[in-house]
């Protein structure tokens, strides 16, 4: 019985030691959307989840609130049948004290017009992975005639 109590006390101490840390276990996703473009200021334009084979691109846009660590972001774009089509990567920089921007918009673009994407209309999918943890899955439709 005494060993069990000591074990519980040690477990509680290990758990409590992590609570005082300023760095969160993950970076929170504040906002996300699919869009057709991104403005020069980094904001999504023409939000939608339905695209035409004549649209230039699909944009997966995310907004994170930064912390004191650098975070790696990966987008995995999937064909309608489920195979991986492409992977893209970005980095969310750490906050630069009080002089930096707290919000960090990041995005990835998947070209449509004139690519294999336009030749395969259907329901596509994109997974967003931050620091090796999937945080989001979004589906979008590419409508139109198959271009051969």
As a CATH number, domain 23-143 is 2.60.40.1930
Q: What is the pLDDT of residues 43-54, one digit of tens each?
A: 999 999 999 999
Q: State the pTM of this model.
A: 0.75
Separation CA 77–CA 85 (nearest Å): 5
Q: What is the pLDDT of residues 102-123, one digit of tens each?
A: 778 899 999 999 999 999 999 9
User: Where along the chain do its domains lie?
Assistant: 23-143
User: In the chain, what's the furthest Cα-to-Cα distance?
Assistant: 75
């Amino acid at each position: 019985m005494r060993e069990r109590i000591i074990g519980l006390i040690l477990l509680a101490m290990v758990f409590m030691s992590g609570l005082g840390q300023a760095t969160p276990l993950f970076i929170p996703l504040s906002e996300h959307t699919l869009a057709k473009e991104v403005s020069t200021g980094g904001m999504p334009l023409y939000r939608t989840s339905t695209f035409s084979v004549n649209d230039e691109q699909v944009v997966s846009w995310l907004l994170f609130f930064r912390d004191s660590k650098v975070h790696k972001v990966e987008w995995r774009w999937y064909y309608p049948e489920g195979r991986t089509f492409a992977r893209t990567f970005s980095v969310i920089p750490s906050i630069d004290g009080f002089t930096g921007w707290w919000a960090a918009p990041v995005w990835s673009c998947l070209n449509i017009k004139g690519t294999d994407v336009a030749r395969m209309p259907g329901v596509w999918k994109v997974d967003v992975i931050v620091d090796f943890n999937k945080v989001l899955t979004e589906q979008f439709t590419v409508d139109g005639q198959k271009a051969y």
